[in-house]
Amino acid sequence: MRIASNMVTQKYNRQLTSLESDLNDSTTKVSSGKAITNFSDNTSAAVKAYKIRSDLNKVDSYQANISHADTSLTDSESALNNMEDVYQYAMEKIVEGQNATQSSEERDIIATELRSLQDELLKTLNTNASGTYLFGGTNSETEPFTIDSTTGKLTYNGYVLDDLDPTDLDPTHTNGKAAIDSLSADSRYLDIGLNIQFDSFNSLVKSSAFAYTIQGIDIAGYGTSTVNVDGTDLTVSNNLYDLLGQIATAFESDDYSYNEVDTLYSQFQESSGGITQSITNVGSKQNYLDFMTDRYETQELNLEDKQSEIEDVDMGDAVIQYKTDEVAYNAALQLGASVIQTSIFDYMS
């Protein structure tokens, strides 16, 4: 092929520009440490990079939520332990009161102590941590447990606990099983990455979020039982507070009956099941959160590794590439002077 003079210079210019551009690319990679600077550098890698960034952000949120739930559960646990202590102390006091050597005045003193323990129990049931009531379910802004002014009975979220009847299966009745179930299920939820979902009525699918509260109704107990004392039927509360009040009343009464107190005492022993069960519940929830925390920590490390793989440049490779491009560019520059000048005119005398 016939070579024209300006073909040589044009070709040389083009090669030089191309080498310079390559050198520029490798310099950028080495100095920034990033393998891709624009989405179009590597589209499929960039799409993955976006996904990983989004996943990392999500994992951060889940970890924050887990931390919040964990704190709430720890606060709940100490409140429950406090209740357990109150319960134990009440038991001792009742036994002490049952001692036949006690006089009427001494029994009155026991009753007073029992009533003050009642108050403490109420206060603990209404524990408030960082402005939120722990045991009210979604009712976190007002005291869940109050005393009904006319009857003096304990109410939870507006329901008188003694009036609740678990055998009443009619869903239209306000104090039946439906109400009990709904109070018990009324937990607060957080999204900790269990693929949160809602059904077609915009109700939360319970298994897709984490319930991190214990509901007061499960701790205190509800409804009433009928017991037989000395041939007469007696209605006793199932919940701790009212039961304790009944025992105190029995101690204060002028015809103190040992059998009555004893029957109430065995009922009291049974009613503490709510507290121990709730403590176990808290424990297992916190175990689950520990498990999720570990999982997310591992997941975070994995995601960060993947991110680095995609977004960061392998420094060794990058520096070698840079050096290679630099050598090529310098060689081309040195060649330039000799390529452009020579023609026959240089040799004509």
Partner 1 sequence: MPIPTFSAFQTASRALSASQTLLSVTGNNIANVNTEGYTRQRVDLTSLSLTSTNQKFANTNNTSSSEGVQATGVSQIRDTFLDARYRTENSDNGMCTTLSSGLSDLESIVDEIDSDGLQTQLSDFADKLQSLSETPTDEDIALTVKTSAQSLTSILNSYSQQVTEVRDQAIYDLDKAVVSDFNSTVESIANLNTQIKEEEINGSTPNELLDKRNTLIDELSNIAKIKVTTSPEKISDNISVENLSISLYDESKGVNISLVENGQFSMISLNTEGDTAKIELTSAIDDHDTDITDHFTSGSIKGYLDIINGEGSYADISSGGNDYRGTLYYQNALDTFASTFANTFNKLNDTNTTDTLDAPLFASSVGGVITAANLTISTDWQDNTNAINAKAYNASDGDNTNVLLMIDALEGDTSFYQEDGSTLMFTGTFSDYMTGVVAELASDITLNEDYQDTSDTVLTSLSDSRNSVSGVSLDEEGVNLLAYQKSYNAAARYMTVLDEIMDKLINETGVVGR
Binding map of partner 1 across residues 85-124, x = CB under 8 A, - = no contact: ----------------------------------------
Measured CA distances, 77 to 47, 82, 212, 215, 248 (Å): 45, 9, 12, 13, 28
Q: Should residue 200 be labelled a site residue for partner 1 when binding is judged by CB under 8 A?
A: no
Binding map of partner 1 across residues 293-332, x = CB under 8 A, - = no contact: ------------------x---------------------
Phi-psi region of 23 (alpha: psi -120 to 50; beta: other; left: phi over 0): alpha
Contact 280, 143 (CB under 8 A): no
What is the nearest approach in angstroms of partner 1 to the Cβ of residue 344?
Answer: 4
What is the nearest approach in angstroms of partner 1 to the Cβ of residue 32?
Answer: 8
Which residue, 31 or 343, is less far from partner 1 as judged by CB?
343
Sign of CA dihedral 236, 242, 243, 249: negative
Q: Should residue 12 be labelled a site residue for partner 1 when binding is judged by CB under 8 A?
A: no
Q: Should residue 31 be labelled a site residue for partner 1 when binding is judged by CB under 8 A?
A: no
Which residue, 66 or 110, is less far from partner 1 as judged by CB?
66
Which of 13, 64, 74, 207 is the binder for partner 1 (CB under 8 A)? 64
What is the nearest approach in angstroms of partner 1 to the Cβ of residue 259?
Answer: 43
Closest residue by Cα to residue 180 from 194, 195, 168, 189: 168
Kindly write down the DSSP assignment for every residue of 171-226, as one continuous string.
TTSTTSHHHHHHHHH---EE--SS---B-TTS-B-GGGSEE----HHHHH--SEEE
Q: Should residue 61 be labelled a site residue for partner 1 when binding is judged by CB under 8 A?
A: yes
Site for partner 1 in 231-290 (CB under 8 A): none
Q: Should residue 57 be labelled a site residue for partner 1 when binding is judged by CB under 8 A?
A: yes
First to last CA, the chain: 28
Which residue, 43 or 225, is less far from partner 1 as judged by CB?
43
Q: Should residue 338 be labelled a site residue for partner 1 when binding is judged by CB under 8 A?
A: no
Which residues, including other chains, have CB under 8 Å from residue 151's CB and lie 6 or more apart? 160
Whole-number Å distance between alpha carbons of 249 and 263: 14
Which residue, 60 or 270, is less far from partner 1 as judged by CB?
60
Counting Cα atoms < 13 Å in the Cβ hemisphere of 310 gives 19
Binding map of partner 1 across residues 201-230, x = CB under 8 A, - = no contact: -xxx----x---------------------
- Kindly provide the b/e burial profile for residues 63-77, where b requires at least 16 CB atoms within 10 angstroms of the residue's own CB: bebbeebbebbebbb
Whole-number Å distance between alpha carbons of 174 and 32: 68
Site for partner 1 in 150-189 (CB under 8 A): 157, 186, 188-189
Integer-rounded Cα Rg, in Å, for the chain is 39
For partner 1, the binding residues (CB under 8 A) are 1-7, 10-11, 14, 34, 36-41, 43, 46-47, 49-51, 53-54, 57-58, 60-61, 64-65, 68, 130-133, 136-142, 157, 186, 188-191, 196-198, 202-204, 209, 311, 343-345, 348
